[in-house]
Amino acid sequence: MSKTPSSDPIHARTRESLILAAGAVFAEQGFRAATVRDICKSAGANVAAVNYHFRDKAGLYRAVWQYSHHCALRKYPLQHGASEDAKPQDKLRAYISSFLLRIFDKGEIAWFGKLISREMIEPTPVLEALVKEEIQPQLIYLSGIVRCILGPKATDIQVQRSAMSVVSQCVFYHHCGPVIRHLLPHLTFSKSQIEELADHIYKFSLAAMKGLGK
């Protein structure tokens, strides 16, 4: 029985730098392609450090997820800066904008988006927890907004599908990045371009839902 190394906050330097280095490498290369030697080198740690601090490579991956999830959630909370009693349309606009800003964020927050993209193609056990704790609540929040816009006559399935239509437009540019970069090289995803994109998705979706409601 050995004490969990992580419980000692003073000697956490190696542990922390491993997480930071691993975040960058996992995001760029994926879980499988990333090597612990690469990560350790980038963290300035010994090869055995991963096994000592995280048991194995998968343990390090879980730690990175936890950290990256924590960062993303703190910077972009669920409410997206829209007040509780705002109009549904304004909430939708805020939701789309916040969604895009988050997945196109640079730096450590971006890991989160990239890791999610990879989970879609090569799911790990981490995905199930992510869906329950993050994606499901997000979708419920969005569905509430969509329901208000569609009106009382809308069925549950119409709400669900319309919410998916909104999300799909947001996810698309990030998830299909390599193709988009070939297809529309002028798109650099600067802050202003993201805002223009958000505006289009908002207007497109709003018009769609208003049309469907009739």
Partner DNA sequence: TTGACTTTCAAACAGATGTTTTAAATAGTT
Partner DNA sequence: AACTATTTAAAACATCTGTTTGAAAGTCAA
Burial of 152 (C-beta count, 10 Å sphere; 0-12/13-18/19+) = exposed
| Cβ neighbours for 48, distance < 8 A, ≥ 6 positions apart | none
Q: Which of 184, 188, 190, 195 binds a copy of itself (CB under 8 A)?
A: 184
Cβ of residue 138: shortest distance to a copy of itself, in angstroms? 10
Burial of 41 (C-beta count, 10 Å sphere; 0-12/13-18/19+) = middle
Check binding of 91 to DNA (CB under 7 A).
no
Check binding of 35 to DNA (CB under 7 A).
yes
**What whole-number distance in Å separates Cα of residue 79 and Cα of residue 109?**
18
Check binding of 125 to DNA (CB under 7 A).
no
Check binding of 122 to DNA (CB under 7 A).
no
Cβ of residue 133: shortest distance to a copy of itself, in angstroms? 12
Q: Which stretch binds a copy of itself (CB under 8 A): 12-20, 56-64, 83-91, 122-130?
A: 122-130
| Cβ neighbours for 207, distance < 8 A, ≥ 6 positions apart | none
- Provide the binding-site residues for DNA, judged by CB under 7 A: 2-3, 5, 8, 10-11, 13-15, 34-37, 45-53, 56-58
